[in-house]
Amino acid sequence: MNVFIVEDAAKTRQELVAIVANLPGFNVVGQAGSVQEAIDGIAKTSPEALTLDISLPDGSGVEVLKHIRRCSADILVVVLTTNPYESLRMQCHRLGAAAVLDKFNGLTQAADVLLAGRQRDPETC
């Protein structure tokens, strides 16, 4: 499964790259640290899955999620955030995020969601 990583914190991004690279059958096809880089990179790489930080320097990951849903509804999205607000989590789920995880404690959980998502039926997106 080809995965694109959107994360502005370099250390966290590298942790995610390492986690995804160690999953059998997974490849990191791109990385971005901003909304615009993410939108451009996703268009160029056509990933099957995405890890998405919400707080980005030029806007919100929610903008990226909305863009994805307009253009590529079948991408599996795992949102990572430090934002504790339930309203944000609900918004991400409404926009089709497979999971909304705490960035500081959920990196390994993201791997579990990606693994589970690889086995999903693409017709159910």
Query: How confident is the model over 13-42, as a mean pLDDT?
Result: 95
What pLDDT is stored for residue 85 in this prediction?
A: 84
Percent of the chain exceeding pLDDT 90 equals: 67
What pLDDT is stored for residue 120 in this prediction?
A: 52
Quick one: tokens of 11?
């250390």
pLDDT tens, residue by residue, 1-16: 999 999 999 999 999 9
Q: Is residue 90 part of a domain?
A: yes
Please, what is the average pLDDT of the chain?
89
Q: Is residue 36 part of a domain?
A: no
What pLDDT is stored for residue 117 in this prediction?
A: 83
pLDDT tens, residue by residue, 42-100: 999 999 999 999 999 999 999 999 999 888 668 999 999 988 788 988 999 999 999 99
How many domains, in total, are found in the chain?
A: 1
**Domain ranges, residue 55:** 51-96
29: part of which helix (H) or strand (E)?
Answer: strand 27-32
Nearest by Cα to 25 from 114, 125, 122: 114
Based on the number of CB atoms within 10 Å of its own CB, is 122 exposed (0-12), middle (13-18) or buried (19 or more)?
A: exposed
Q: Is residue 84 part of a domain?
A: yes
Q: Is residue 2 part of a domain?
A: no
Look at the block and give the residue holding tokens 């791997």: 111
Q: Is residue 86 part of a domain?
A: yes
**Residue 123: is its pLDDT beyond 70?**
no
**Residue 38: is its pLDDT beyond 70?**
yes
Q: Is residue 67 part of a domain?
A: yes
Q: Is residue 41 part of a domain?
A: no
**Residue 122: is its pLDDT beyond 70?**
no
